[in-house]
């Protein structure tokens, strides 16, 4: 529905532009021609009333494309009108000129006011294709006339129209850039708004799920203790409840920056902990992990629990990208004169398609059958809260490298 209404708006804008163009064109065309060829000569005392060429039939001929345009406006087929009208005008004009000059020794009269209008007003359609169509069509007409009539006089209008085209193109490019920046701002706002709404909903639902889940987990543990050895489903039930819990935790993050309680922690320990958590999954999938830590690392200002979450997400993604097994390389080093820490996680997995790169970190964006699409969103959020940066480079079918850069000392 939205799309339809957007199209309607575009349609209305194009219609306005077409009507404006047709009115101005015809006004100038008839008023100018009548003044130039008839009134002027009459006032000047000349007896010549014929303009030569197609003469009066020119005006009747020019009514044809106008009728066609009005008919199409009524029918609602408006996007081709400008092209058709200009093409018809140029063709009629060429014929008019040929009749007027071929076989005579008259010099080619330069420039036509409606052509100036066409070029200068081309930007009102905010359409680069149409602009080039106009500029090439009109300048091309003069080149053609010059060649046929072997008349050097065409050089003046060609130069004039080149300059005018330059001006019109500049205006058009400004229009485009202005419109682009407006749409960028609009998209950004829309995204923020969407995130805020999803965030509120997710937080409300998450909150409601938490309490019954805590009860469920408590009772399951209670049952397990009361009836040990009765069945081996209890650990699976508890594990699954924990999984729901961690999804709920992730949901609570959407669109909501958190206040971090910064404390000093060791990045080596955080990574080691993360690896212990993900080890089982890695082994199951035949993934080996290699860690390269450059030198002794300074303690890092962070909220340890959250950074653990970040690296669990990233390492899990790396493991999941290699269903046939492979190698993960984790490198940690100090950069930027001991101000920042770079942690890079490189896998040899399936990689990320170009069209998906922009979606990374959007809530619920996932390409996995049972993915939630919350991992990178939470990761981004936590790293933002730590005033850090995350950069993802990926080559399809070769692998992905995620660089996380964190300031070592937090300045509040």
274 lies in the binding site for Mg ion (CB under 5 A)? no
**Binding-site residue total for Mg ion (CB under 5 A)?**
2
Strands 389-395 and 399-407, sheet pairing: antiparallel
User: Which of 225/239 has CB closer to Mg ion?
Assistant: 239
The pair of three-digit structure tokens given for residue 227, joined into one six-digit string: 């009836």
Q: 347: how many CB neighbours lie within 10 A of its CB?
A: 26
Residues 158 and 328: their CA atoms lie apart, in Å, by 64
54 lies in the binding site for ligand ADP (CB under 6 A)? no
Interactions with ligand ADP, residue window 172-191 (CB under 6 A):
none
The site partner of 318 among Mg ion, ligand ADP, none (C-beta below 5 to 8 Å per kind) is ligand ADP
**Binding-site residue total for ligand ADP (CB under 6 A)?**
22
321 lies in the binding site for ligand ADP (CB under 6 A)? yes
Element holding 402 (H helix, E strand) = strand 399-407
Strands 326-335 and 340-346, sheet pairing: antiparallel
254 lies in the binding site for ligand ADP (CB under 6 A)? no
The site partner of 157 among Mg ion, ligand ADP, none (C-beta below 5 to 8 Å per kind) is none
317 lies in the binding site for ligand ADP (CB under 6 A)? yes
319 lies in the binding site for ligand ADP (CB under 6 A)? no
317 lies in the binding site for Mg ion (CB under 5 A)? yes
The answer to whether 340 touches 408, Cβ cutoff 8 Å, is yes
Least distance to Mg ion, CB of residue 368, Å: 7
318 lies in the binding site for ligand ADP (CB under 6 A)? yes
Distances (CA, A) of 224 to 82, 110, 160, 227: 78, 98, 90, 5
User: Which of 141/346 has CB closer to ligand ADP?
Assistant: 346
Q: Which x/- pattern, by CB under 6 A, does the window 333-372 give for ligand ADP?
A: --------------x-xxxx-------x----xxxx--xx
The residues that bridge with 393 in the sheet, in sequence order, are 401
Residues 297 and 330: their CA atoms lie apart, in Å, by 15
Q: Nearest Cα to 139, choosing from 114, 124, 119, 122?
A: 119
The answer to whether 65 touches 26, Cβ cutoff 8 Å, is no
User: Which of 86/314 has CB closer to ligand ADP?
Assistant: 314
Q: Which residues form the interface with ligand ADP (CB under 6 A)? A: 313, 317-318, 321, 347, 349-352, 360, 365-368, 371-377, 400
Q: Which residues form the interface with Mg ion (CB under 5 A)? A: 317, 375
């Amino acid at each position: 529905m939205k799309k339809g209404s957007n199209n309607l708006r575009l349609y209305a804008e194009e219609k306005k532009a077409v009507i404006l163009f047709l009115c101005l064109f015809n006004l100038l065309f008839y008023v100018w021609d009548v003044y130039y060829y008839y009134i002027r000569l009459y006032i000047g005392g000349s007896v010549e009333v014929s303009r030569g060429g197609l003469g009066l039939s020119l005006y009747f001929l020019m009514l044809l494309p106008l009728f066609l345009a009005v008919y199409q406006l009524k029918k609602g087929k408006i996007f081709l009108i400008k092209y058709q009208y200009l093409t018809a005008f140029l063709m009629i004009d060429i014929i008019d000129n040929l009749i007027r000059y071929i076989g005579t020794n008259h010099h080619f009269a330069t420039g036509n006011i409606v052509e100036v209008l066409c070029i200068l007003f081309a930007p009102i359609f905010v359409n680069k294709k149409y602009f080039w169509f106009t500029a090439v069509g009109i300048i091309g007409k003069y080149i053609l006339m010059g060649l046929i009539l072997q008349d050097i006089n065409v050089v003046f209008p060609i130069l004039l129209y080149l300059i005018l085209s330059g001006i019109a193109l500049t205006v058009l490019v400004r229009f485009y850039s202005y419109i682009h920046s407006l749409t960028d701002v609009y998209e950004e706002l829309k995204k923020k708004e969407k995130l805020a709404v999803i965030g509120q909903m997710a937080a409300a639902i998450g909150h409601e799920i938490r309490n019954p889940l805590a009860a469920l987990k408590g009772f399951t543990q209670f049952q397990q203790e009361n009836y040990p050895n009765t069945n081996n489903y209890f650990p699976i039930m508890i594990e699954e409840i924990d999984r729901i819990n961690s999804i709920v935790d992730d949901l609570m993050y959407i669109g909501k920056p958190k206040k971090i309680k910064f404390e000093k922690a060791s990045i080596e320990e955080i990574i080691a902990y993360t690896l212990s958590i993900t080890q089982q999954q890695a082994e199951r999938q035949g993934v080996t992990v290699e860690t390269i830590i450059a030198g002794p690392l300074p303690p890092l200002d962070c909220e340890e629990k959250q950074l653990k979450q970040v690296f669990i997400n990233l390492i899990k993604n790396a493991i999941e990208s290699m269903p046939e097994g492979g190698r993960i390389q984790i490198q940690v080093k100090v950069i930027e004169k001991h101000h920042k820490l770079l942690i890079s996680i490189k896998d040899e997995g399936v990689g990320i398609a170009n069209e998906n790169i922009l979606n990374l970190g959007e809530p619920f964006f996932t390409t996995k059958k049972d993915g939630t699409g919350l991992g990178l969103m939470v990761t981004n959020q936590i790293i933002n809260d730590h005033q850090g940066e995350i950069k993802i480079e990926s080559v399809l079918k070769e692998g992905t490298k995620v660089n996380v850069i964190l300031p070592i000392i937090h300045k509040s």
